[in-house]
Chain A
Amino acid sequence: NAGVTQTPKFRILKIGQSMTLQCTQDMNHNYMYWYRQDPGMGLKLIYYSVGAGITDKGEVPNGYNVSRSTTEDFPLRLELAAPSQTSVYFCASSQRGRRSYEQYFGPGTRLTVT
């Protein structure tokens, strides 16, 4: 199993541009999450999904959108990039009831908005 994969690894955006961060998991997990990590800080939850077609906001959803059309994929969309969105973005997945709710993280996408 590849686990949780994210693309791209790095990206530089200009202010006002849009992009989609891709996240795929091959563990058949129902739950998927998007986090951002600012320098020297802990992670903050942006959005999560409890299954295909079901998404909900986390702590910091403004400026982002998500969709979940399949169990495997959970893309994160930035519509109008702003410097405040410069961060490292992590996707994670879990399957409740198995492995004690453990979360598995992807390698991250480092995004710079200038």
Chain B
Amino acid sequence: ELKVEQNPLFLSMQEGKNYTIYCNYSTTSDRLYWYRQDPGKSLESLFVLLSNGAVKQEGRLMASLDTKARLSTLHITAAVHDLSATYFCASAAGNQFYFGTGTSLTVIP
């Protein structure tokens, strides 16, 4: 069974600062996903990473994948309050999906 670990679990950061969320997975996977979830809401897809070295950027968020280290990162640049949410990574192997427990991000003005 594939295990996915995220850290940190909780992150409080000031507006304008940079930070990185880490996602480690335990076995070979086909693709790595990042999602955002606002309180009481559904999940919004942010990125899908398919190959080693893949990097995707959208606004202040950038995701990367290192399949050899079984590590994905979500980098936040110059955080703003609107980025406050819970961020999940998920690793997929075939049709099976395994989610991390999430990183709850709070951006403080």
Chain A residues packing against B (C-beta within 8 Å): 31, 33, 35, 40-45, 48, 50, 56, 58-59, 90, 92, 100-108
A-B contact pairs, 6 of them (CB 8 A): A40-B102, A41-B102, A43-B99, A59-B98, A90-B43, A107-B42
Tell yes or no: B31 within 8 A of A by CB. Answer: yes
Closest A residue, CB atoms, query B49: A100
Q: Do residues B42 and A108 form an inter-chain contact, with CB atoms below 8 A?
A: yes
Residues of B within 8 A of A (CB): 1, 4, 31, 33, 41-45, 48, 50, 88, 90, 92, 95-102
Looking at B92, B99, B101, B102, the one whose CB has the most chain A CB atoms below 10 A away is: B99
- In the complex, the number of residue pairs spanning A and B with C-beta atoms less than 8 Å apart equals 53
On chain A, the residues within 8 Å of B100 by CB distance are 42
Question: Shortest CB–CB separation between residue A90 and chain B, in angstroms?
Answer: 6
| Bound CA–CA A42/B96 (angstroms) | 14
* Chain A nearest CB, measured from B79 CB (Å): 22
8 Å CB contact of A31 from B95, B98, B101: B95
Distance to closest chain B CB from A108 (angstroms)? 5
A42 touches B43 (CB 8 A): no
**Closest A residue, CB atoms, query B92:** A101
Q: Determine if A104 and B102 form an interchain contact, defined as CB atoms under 8 angstroms apart.
A: no
Q: Which residues of B contact A58 (CB under 8 A)?
A: 96-97
A104 to B43, CA, bound (A): 8
Complex Cα gap A41–B101 (Å): 5
Complex Cα distance, B44 from A108, in Å, reads: 12
| Contact between B48 and A100, CB atoms less than 8 A apart | yes
B6, closest chain A residue (CB): A42
Q: Determine which of B41, B88, B95, B96 lies in contact with A43 in the assembled complex, contact meaning CB atoms within 8 Å.
A: B88
Using CB atoms, name the residue of chain A closest to B45.
A102
